[in-house]
Chain A
Amino acid sequence: MQTEDSVKSPEGKEGLESQSRRSFLKMMMVFAVGAAAIGTMRGGIQSLARLPPQALNTFPSLTLVNSSGAPIKTADIPINSALGVLFPYPLTNEPNFLLRLGDKTGKDVAVTPQKVSIPDTGGSFLSPGGVGPYKSVVAASAICQHAGCLFPQLRFYPPTSSSYPGLIQCGCHGSQYDPYKGFSVVSTPARSPLPNVALSYDVTTDTYQAVGMIGPVIFNHSNDLSGGTAAKSSTSTVTEQSA
């Protein structure tokens, strides 16, 4: 501030006293303008920096149903289907694969719970394993953990497929996951397994319920239960999409 200090005040006051007066006034001015700026900044930041609203507080139990509202039976789930058999859970903008895993001959494969590591954090979790009469039905988030790609880019290739047999592969950037091993990462760039859906199977009625999520948080959500809207009923509709 060379210019201001060199300006003579009208009375010709100069020297140390005048300098220190000005410094004091300048300090008071900085205080007042600074207070105004800080008070405004708080308003600006706080009004924009909001957390996504929490849609639910606990994981709901949603019965998997078909488009006409009837509960899905084991026979309704095709073995090794390359189609996108999807249902939303726990929120309506969180799609999941529903897979009935088999071997090359089309026989059900029992999927056992196992420890799945999360390369991104160095941690791990215990996958829920398969349910149903043959322990072959599994489910996981159908949003790629790398960049959020969806079906049909992210899709399951049956064991009989010539490319990526028995894996979920993402066509966007090449991430691969193994649904037989708790959707663990087989190939980067994804650094986190697909979040597993915990299913519960009712033997007497032969119906399936989604009851929770296990593993990492669904891609682009601050937690699995926020950033979307909850289902209005206690069912989740399974749809079949072709590529």
Chain B
Amino acid sequence: MKNYSLYNITGQIRKKLFSSESLLVRIFNDPQPIPRKVPDYMRKKGGILYWTGALIMITFIYEIITGLVILIYYEPSNPYVSTESFINSVPFGSLILTTHLYAAYAMIFLIYVHLLRNLFVGAYKKPREIQWITGIVLLVMTIGLSFFGYSMSGDALAADAVGVGQTIAGGTPSIGTYVRTIFFGTGTSLTLFQSMLAWHIILAAGVGFLFAIHFFIAEFNTIMPSRKEAKYRAPALDTDPGTYKPWFPYNLMYMMQYLVIVFGAVILIPSLLAISPGIPPLFSPFPQAAAGAALPPGFPSYPPWFLLFVYKELDFTIVTNLTPFWSTVIFVGAPLLYLLLIPFIDRKPTLSMVDRPLTVALAITGTIYLIGLSTWGALSPHIQEHTPEVLAFFIIPAAAAILLSYYTAGRVREGRMDVRTEIPLMVLLAMTGLTAFILGLSISTVMASVTGSSLAALVLMATAVAVEVSIAMGVIYGIIPDGKPLEIPWIKKFPVSAVLGFGALGILIFISFLPVGSVYNQSLYGIGLGIIFILAGMMIRVYRKEAYGE
């Protein structure tokens, strides 16, 4: 091992790839049953954290279905007009396009959730290193896929995002022109949109293919059991003691439940946004004004929200001497490199967060950077930021997170604190943060122009924040007991399920009479359909409880 001659290194690689211990060889020679059975606790309360990958898959399926419909209508020679006419003239076009956008948003958001969850629980550790690396590659591919998809509408925001993308790609040392023409065509509008459409589809196919590999390795390595089961030691493997329930119908129904709920959410949310006034361009489900058209004064030129962090780093005076290409390499490349290498940096077998305070602190810091840079980019786009502020932004959260992590880890180790039971609370706090952010946006909307609808939005969001804060306080101070499974008596289950089942039928009948000629009616249809999906998900939940006792 000490001899690093070239021959030795290639020998090592060959051994890694083709020895009888290599993942590749083991998968081919000893294929595992797919899909695997899983322990019951993964389908019970809180078990959703074991299925974040499945949720991503569900959004990806939704994307493929809607994307193929849009593909039939999209004209690269006429991107903006064909997008607008898809929205306005094709029956359900508006619903399909806006939900395609929001399912992509949901997919990216869920990928971050999946990434963080696996980072916190140490899922990248032996034997899941390769699985982790394919996941990071999938993240990058999905962001690229979404960038091209977002840019294909040819509206003002897309033109701006494409401009930034072209500058970054064109700045690649010595082969910039080639990289730019590969991704963005030869300079004409037709080649631009033709190649963006092509890359959108190529990357979608790539994501599908790599996902299959990711999934196959995951099945081979078994789903990661709860860390308690694994005694907080890697390798954490799940072995069926012979008591696991069969995949059909238990897991199938569980997956169906989440499939209809996720579909419902991605149909419902953009439909609600579509009929709400005063939605900022960043979250509008519709394309903005055509590229090159006269824009309203003060109209911000935003990239899609999931790229805002890249956008903001270009505003730092500290990097103005660098080209956009190199600042992207530093600000995006460095975290990615860290994520790719983490299985080989954090090699200790412990899965306990208390024993890995630095990893946990860096994960929290990264999350703060991502959200912070994005919010900063949204609130002050294109405004130069001077070095002291930038340094403060980067140093303070990192220092705070590292100090707090070590402090908390010490307290927990001494047995004076228990954070393990607080996962629902953390999720609630995260949701409260998000709602508060939207509340802030609606306050700024009201400041800009006081209308009935903007006031209504303000009141709604303020109420949501108040409710979330009250529940959080209630849980913290022990007013609301946590975590006891409630046994719902039949006398309540019967009317609830009747409301769910007949309610869904009733809404279906109602929306069936909606003429879908207008965008507004399609949004109403989307709201109704989204609610039906969520009712169906709840109904499956009730059924699983009664029939399977889960």
Residues of A within 8 A of B (CB): 1, 3-4, 7, 9-10, 21-22, 24-29, 31-33, 35-36, 38-40, 42-44, 46-48, 50
B101 interface residue (CB < 8 Å to A): no
Shortest beta-carbon distance, A110 to chain B, in Å?
48
Contacts of A47 in B (CB 8 A): 69, 90-93, 96
Q: Which 5 A-B pairs have the closest CB atoms?
A: A28-B501, A32-B536, A32-B504, A31-B501, A35-B508
Binds A, one of B365-373, B391-399, B526-534: B526-534
Q: A36–B547 contact, CB under 8 A?
A: no
Q: A39–B546 contact, CB under 8 A?
A: no
Q: From the candidates A1, A21, A39, A50, name the one contacting B532 in the complex (CB within 8 A).
A: A39
Q: A43–B547 contact, CB under 8 A?
A: no
Interface readout for B525-550 with A: 1 if CB under 8 Å, 0 if not?
Answer: 10011001101100110110011110
B502 interface residue (CB < 8 Å to A): yes
Residues of B within 8 A of A (CB): 65, 69, 72, 90-93, 95-96, 246, 248-249, 256, 260, 263-264, 490, 493-494, 497-498, 500-505, 507-508, 511-512, 516, 525, 528-529, 532-533, 535-536, 539-540, 542-543, 546-549
Q: A29–B501 contact, CB under 8 A?
A: yes
Question: A43–B516 Cα gap in the complex (Å)?
Answer: 9
Q: B91–A36 contact, CB under 8 A?
A: no
- Of the A-B pairs whose beta carbons lie under 8 Å apart in the complex, a sample of 21, sorted by A's number, is A7-B547, A7-B549, A21-B494, A21-B546, A25-B542, A25-B547, A28-B497, A28-B498, A29-B501, A32-B501, A32-B503, A32-B532, A33-B256, A33-B536, A36-B264, A36-B536, A39-B508, A42-B512, A43-B95, A47-B90, A47-B91
Contacts of B504 in A (CB 8 A): 31-32, 35-36
Question: A43–B433 Cα gap in the complex (Å)?
Answer: 35
Instruction: Output the nearest chain B residue to A5 by Cβ-Cβ distance.
Output: B547
Shortest beta-carbon distance, B261 to chain A, in Å?
11
Instruction: Output the nearest chain B residue to A38 by Cβ-Cβ distance.
Output: B508
Contacts of A43 in B (CB 8 A): 91-92, 95-96, 525, 529
- Given A42-B512, A43-B92, A22 and B72 touching (CB < 8 A)? no
Q: Among the interface residues B264, B498, B546, which one has the most CB atoms of the partner chain A within 10 A?
A: B546
Q: Among the interface residues A10, A26, A36, A38, which one has the most CB atoms of the partner chain B within 10 A?
A: A36
Instruction: Output the nearest chain B residue to A18 by Cβ-Cβ distance.
Output: B546
- Given A3-B249, A28-B498, A50-B91, A22 and B532 touching (CB < 8 A)? no
Contacts of B65 in A (CB 8 A): 44
Instruction: Output the nearest chain B residue to A40 by Cβ-Cβ distance.
Output: B529
Contacts of A22 in B (CB 8 A): 543, 546-547
Question: A4–B246 Cα gap in the complex (Å)?
Answer: 11
Contacts of A42 in B (CB 8 A): 92, 512
Question: A28–B500 Cα gap in the complex (Å)?
Answer: 7
Q: From the candidates A1, A28, A33, A50, name the one contacting B249 in the complex (CB within 8 A).
A: A1
Q: B540–A33 contact, CB under 8 A?
A: yes
Q: Among the interface residues A29, A33, A44, which one has the most CB atoms of the partner chain B within 10 A?
A: A29
Question: A35–B531 Cα gap in the complex (Å)?
Answer: 11
Shortest beta-carbon distance, B93 to chain A, in Å?
6
Question: A125–B543 Cα gap in the complex (Å)?
Answer: 64
- Given A4-B249, A33-B539, A35-B504, A46 and B516 touching (CB < 8 A)? yes
Q: B72–A48 contact, CB under 8 A?
A: yes
Q: Among the interface residues A24, A32, A44, which one has the most CB atoms of the partner chain B within 10 A?
A: A32
Contacts of A38 in B (CB 8 A): 508
Instruction: Output the nearest chain B residue to A25 by Cβ-Cβ distance.
Output: B543
Q: B546–A4 contact, CB under 8 A?
A: no
Contacts of A24 in B (CB 8 A): 494, 497
Using A9-B547, A25-B539, A32-B536 as known contacts, list a sample of 4 further A-B pairs with CB atoms less than 8 Å apart, ordered by residue number in A.
A28-B542, A32-B504, A36-B504, A47-B91
Shortest beta-carbon distance, A12 to chain B, in Å?
10
Shortest beta-carbon distance, A17 to chain B, in Å?
9
Contacts of B528 in A (CB 8 A): 39
Contacts of A39 in B (CB 8 A): 508, 511-512, 525, 528-529, 532
Contacts of B256 in A (CB 8 A): 33
Contacts of A35 in B (CB 8 A): 504-505, 507-508, 532, 536
Contacts of A27 in B (CB 8 A): 501
Contacts of B540 in A (CB 8 A): 29, 32-33
Instruction: Output the nearest chain A residue to B548 by Cβ-Cβ distance.
Output: A7
Question: A1–B548 Cα gap in the complex (Å)?
Answer: 12
Contacts of B507 in A (CB 8 A): 35
Question: A187–B504 Cα gap in the complex (Å)?
Answer: 58
Shortest beta-carbon distance, A18 to chain B, in Å?
8
Question: A26–B540 Cα gap in the complex (Å)?
Answer: 9
Question: A43–B514 Cα gap in the complex (Å)?
Answer: 12
Q: B501–A48 contact, CB under 8 A?
A: no
Instruction: Output the nearest chain A residue to B541 by Cβ-Cβ distance.
Output: A29
Question: A1–B532 Cα gap in the complex (Å)?
Answer: 25
Contacts of B500 in A (CB 8 A): 28, 32
Shortest beta-carbon distance, B83 to chain A, in Å?
14
Shortest beta-carbon distance, A15 to chain B, in Å?
14
Contacts of A25 in B (CB 8 A): 493, 497, 539, 542-543, 546-547
Contacts of B248 in A (CB 8 A): 3
Q: Among the interface residues A7, A35, A38, A43, which one has the most CB atoms of the partner chain B within 10 A?
A: A35
Question: A47–B90 Cα gap in the complex (Å)?
Answer: 6
Question: A4–B494 Cα gap in the complex (Å)?
Answer: 19
Question: A4–B436 Cα gap in the complex (Å)?
Answer: 44
Shortest beta-carbon distance, A226 to chain B, in Å?
15
- Given A3-B249, A36-B529, A46 and B91 touching (CB < 8 A)? yes
Q: From the candidates A3, A21, A32, name the one contacting B539 in the complex (CB within 8 A).
A: A32
Question: A1–B449 Cα gap in the complex (Å)?
Answer: 58
Q: A46–B92 contact, CB under 8 A?
A: yes
Contacts of B539 in A (CB 8 A): 25, 28-29, 31-33
Contacts of B536 in A (CB 8 A): 29, 32-33, 35-36
Shortest beta-carbon distance, B244 to chain A, in Å?
14
Q: B92–A29 contact, CB under 8 A?
A: no
Question: A28–B496 Cα gap in the complex (Å)?
Answer: 10
Question: A10–B548 Cα gap in the complex (Å)?
Answer: 8
Question: A38–B505 Cα gap in the complex (Å)?
Answer: 10
Q: B532–A4 contact, CB under 8 A?
A: no
Contacts of B490 in A (CB 8 A): 21
